[in-house]
Amino acid sequence: MARVCEITGKSTQIGGRYSNRTRATQFNPTGKVRRKANLQRRRIYVSELGKTVIVDVSMKGLKTIKKNGAYTTLKKAGAI
C-alpha cells in the first residue's frame, strides 16, 4: 500500500540533497533522497454518520478537516 494522504493526495517526492561544500565544486557525489509526506493515522469521529473513521492523513489534511468539517472533507475526498 502506498503512503498517500487520503485528503490531499500527498505522497513521497524525490529530490536532491546538496551541501554548500559540494555545490562549490564541480563534482557533486550526493545522490537522490526520498522525502516522505507527514502522514498520521487518525481516528476521526463523523457526527453526521455517528461513527468513527480511520484515515491516513497528512497534517495539511488535518487542517483542512478542522477548517471545513470532517463530513464534507471526507465525502469530497471519497474516504467515506
Question: Please, what are the domains in the chain?
Answer: 13-77 (2.30.170.40)
Mean pLDDT computed over every residue of the chain: 87
C-alpha cell at position 72: 464534507
For residues 51, 52, 54, 55, the Cα torsion angle rounded to the nearest 10 degrees is: 80
| pLDDT greater than 80 at residue 30 | no
Burial code (b: 16+ CB inside 10 Å, e: under 16) for 48-73 equals eeeeebebbbbeebbebbeeeebbeb
- Note the pLDDT of residue 52: 96
For the segment 46-75, the average pLDDT, to the nearest whole number, is: 95
CA–CA distance, 11 with 73 (Å, rounded to integer): 18
For the segment 50-67, the average pLDDT, to the nearest whole number, is: 95
| pLDDT greater than 80 at residue 29 | no
| pLDDT greater than 90 at residue 48 | yes
**Which comes out higher in pLDDT, residue 69 or 29?**
69
Q: What is the H or E stretch that residue 65 is in?
A: helix 59-68
